[in-house]
């Protein structure tokens, strides 16, 4: 059991909150419309844009889409790198940044070996992490309450 309920009523666009589920950090990110719109353009740079790898472990059926989510605005993902398990950092700023992909649109950077993920937790190619971040089972209980697990 041990499903976790999260109150997302105070989460503003562009913000992230973290809850613990089964001893793991689960990120809830409220994406801006710009962040959602940018996702599709990144597909050619990603290792698994449609979340087809290990879907049973990594991506519930309702999240096998570009935004990897039930509602495009909200990303729910386990904040653990699919390479060796470090916790990636937020890199939500846009524009060129050293060591990040050329047309960086924001996402997550793993400090251990440099893997990068977009705002849907999809991993960029040519980095050590093989897979997208895990989307845990989740559902919306209401507009402001999320159940994880």
Write out the residues near ligand FES by the rule CB under 6 A.
Answer: 81, 83-86, 110, 112-115, 128-129
DSSP 4: E
Closer residue to ligand FES in complex, CB, 72/128: 128
Shortest distance (Å) from residue 69 CB to ligand FES: 22
Output the CA–CA distances (angstroms, integers) from residue 96 to 42, 57, 63, 73, 101, in the order listed.
15, 33, 29, 24, 8
Output the CA–CA distances (angstroms, integers) from residue 43 to 2, 39, 48, 49, 67, in the order listed.
35, 7, 8, 5, 11
Shortest distance (Å) from residue 133 CB to ligand FES: 10
Closer residue to ligand FES in complex, CB, 13/85: 85
Distance CA 23, CA 13 (A): 26
Q: Which residues participate in catalysis according to the annotation?
A: 113
Shortest distance (Å) from residue 37 CB to ligand FES: 27
Closer residue to ligand FES in complex, CB, 14/85: 85
């Amino acid at each position: 059991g041990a499903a976790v309920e999260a109150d997302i009523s105070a989460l503003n666009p562009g913000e992230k909150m973290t809850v613990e589920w089964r001893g793991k950090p689960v990120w809830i990110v409220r994406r801006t419309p710009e962040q959602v719109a940018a996702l599709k353009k990144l597909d050619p740079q990603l290792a698994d844009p449609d979340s087809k790898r290990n879907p049973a472990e990594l991506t519930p059926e309702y999240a096998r889409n570009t935004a990897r989510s039930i509602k495009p605005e909200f990303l729910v993902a386990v904040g653990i790198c699919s390479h060796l398990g470090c916790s990636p950092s937020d890199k939500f700023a846009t524009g060129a940044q050293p060591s990040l992909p050329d047309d960086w649109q924001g996402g997550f950077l793993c400090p251990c070996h440099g893997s990068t993920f977009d705002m849907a937790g999809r991993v960029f190619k040519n980095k050590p992490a093989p897979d997208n971040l895990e989307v845990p089972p989740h559902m919306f209980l209401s507009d402001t309450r999320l159940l994880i697990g």
